[in-house]
Amino acid sequence: MTTSKRRYHITTFGCQMNKADSERMAGVLEDMGFEWSEDPNHANVILYNTCTIRDNAEQKVYSYLGRQAKRKHENPDLTLIVAGCVAQQEGEALLRRVPELDLVMGPQHANRLQDLLQQVFDGNQVVATEQVHIMEDITKPRRDSTVTAWVNVIYGCNERCTYCVVPNVRGVEQSRTPEAIRADIIELSQQGYKEVTLLGQNIDAYGRDLPGVTPEGRNLHTLTDLLYYVHDVPGIERIRFATSHPRYFTERLIKACAELPKVCEHFHIPFQSGDNEVLKLMARGYTHEKYRRIIDTIRQYMPDASISADAIVGFPTETEAQFENTLKLAGDIGFDLLNTAAYSPRPGTPAAVWDSQLSEETKSDRLQRLNHLVNIKAAERSQRYMGRIEEVLVEDQNPKDKTQVMGRIRGNRLTFFAGDIKELKGKSVKVRITEVRPFSLTGEPVALCGMKK
Ligand code: SAH
Ligand code: SF4
Ligand code: F3S
């Protein structure tokens, strides 16, 4: 083996938080002199950044790992890393299951990858899963896009939804300071980025752990204040944020979004269930009436706002009538996008051991019925764009049609139109929508938008 060309490969599973962590870990590896290898079979360091939100997400990791563990027998120089939420959940147990592993590291350790790898290169098998305070890091992430970027705002989750592993694997909430966040965004703008997405499991809970209160007794630092604080960074044209929890979504935040021109009119606010009894058992801390009021208020201020959400079907004890309340909520609101999932019992969560689990058959039947409705509603919602002129921020070439470019409208639907990526990447283009599908659009360019500050 030559050491001159050290290559790494990262496969990322799961949510945007994991994608952002992977970009940071890739930055660390590049700083250490590794080069990206698209093909894991040509890499000396393979990192799986894993997800354990549902059982099928976790199983996928084991099948990938199995293949590389075999390869390691022929190639002992190969370094195998499991990072992310499966690593945190399983810890040492992962080493027993896959003894070929060199490093098991939880999500809070992403910024420490260099140190941990050094220990591996010194001949150790390393497990890093203790709860730590996440350090501000100075490494430059290797970002997938040159147009849009993630910005971590709050790590962890302080909720205790009875189905969810996230608090176990991501730890307690840690908000970054407004100054650190703004500094990141300024740097991104200097590198030419046009859009930032502020990230957190419950982004609207931002700032609760930061010191200071206003004279009225409100937290000094909230997502609303943060949006005002970062809004004027020149060059950044769009600001998004995800994921929002209904419990913390205030009218003050809605007003700010309506008032601040860069904040896009798209809100991802999972409701999980449309039934109050189920919501209570899930420990979500709101009713379907409260959820509806939030959406009504958003639509009062921003009638055209896109609304997306997550929902779970087949939670333990869910009756047919309760499931129908979820259908009713999905039908009444008319989501632009709804991520649906059948409930999956997760180790270490309260609901997993309740004896009122539903059959796989019932769960998959409900999932299909909900998905059917979701498609109909999304198609209806897409209709409003027909013939309209929308602003598209161009991100890439359409991989399926090289004569087209693609990007998102402010409302977040992916939109395709004819154009040359070399000319248009990172540009905002006014596009007349000529074709609509439930989750994407096609159009023709009308004009390049003026330079914005
Ligand atoms: N913090 C966000 C969601 C994070 S997890 C929130 O509270 O809304 C992403 C989604 O995975 C959740 O919204 C939920 O719909 C789904 N999910 C989480 N645990 C699940 C489980 N055990 N089974 C099925 N879906 C689950
Ligand atoms: Fe999981 Fe609930 Fe936290 Fe969301 S708010 S990450 S669903 S525990
Ligand atoms: Fe999965 Fe971890 Fe995200 S469990 S959904 S990768 S926080």
Give the model confidence (pLDDT) of 296-348 as tens digits: 999 999 999 999 999 999 999 999 999 999 999 999 999 999 999 999 999 99
Residues 2 and 114: their CA atoms lie apart, in Å, by 21
pLDDT in tens, 265-279: 999 999 999 999 999
Q: Which ligand is nearest to the CA of 272?
A: 1
Q: Give me the residue label for tokens 């290797």.
A: 142
CB distance 156 to ligand 3 below 6 Å: no
pLDDT at 1: 45
CATH of 148-384, one of 3.90.1300.10, 3.40.718.10, 3.80.30.20, 3.30.300.30: 3.80.30.20
Nearest ligand 3 atom to the CA of 17 is: 3
Residues in the chain: 453
Of residues 429, 384, 386, 367, the one with CA closest to residue 404:
429
Q: Are 83 and 105 in contact (CB under 8 A)?
A: yes
Which of 155, 310, 363 has most ligand 1 atoms within 8 Å of CB, for mutation?
310
Q: Domain 386-448: which CATH class?
A: mainly beta
Sign of CA dihedral 299, 304, 309, 313: positive
**pTM for the whole structure:** 0.95
Helices (H) and strands (E) in the chain, counts: 14, 19
Rg (CA), the chain: 23
Closest residue by CA, ligand 2 atom 2: 161
440-448 vs 428-436, strand pairing mode: antiparallel
pLDDT in tens, 222-236: 999 999 999 999 999
CA angle 423-190-227, nearest 5°? 105
CB distance 15 to ligand 3 below 6 Å: yes
Residues 261 and 238: their CA atoms lie apart, in Å, by 8
Closest residue by CA, ligand 1 atom 7: 245
Q: Which CATH architecture has domain 7-128?
A: 3-Layer(aba) Sandwich (3.40)
φ/ψ of residue 119, rounded to 5: -60, -40
Q: Which ligand is nearest to the CA of 310?
A: 1
Q: Name every residue whose Cβ is closer than 8 Å to that of residue 189 and which is 6 or more positions away in sequence.
A: 233, 234, 235, 236
DSSP 218: -
Domain ranges of the chain: 7-128, 148-384, 386-448
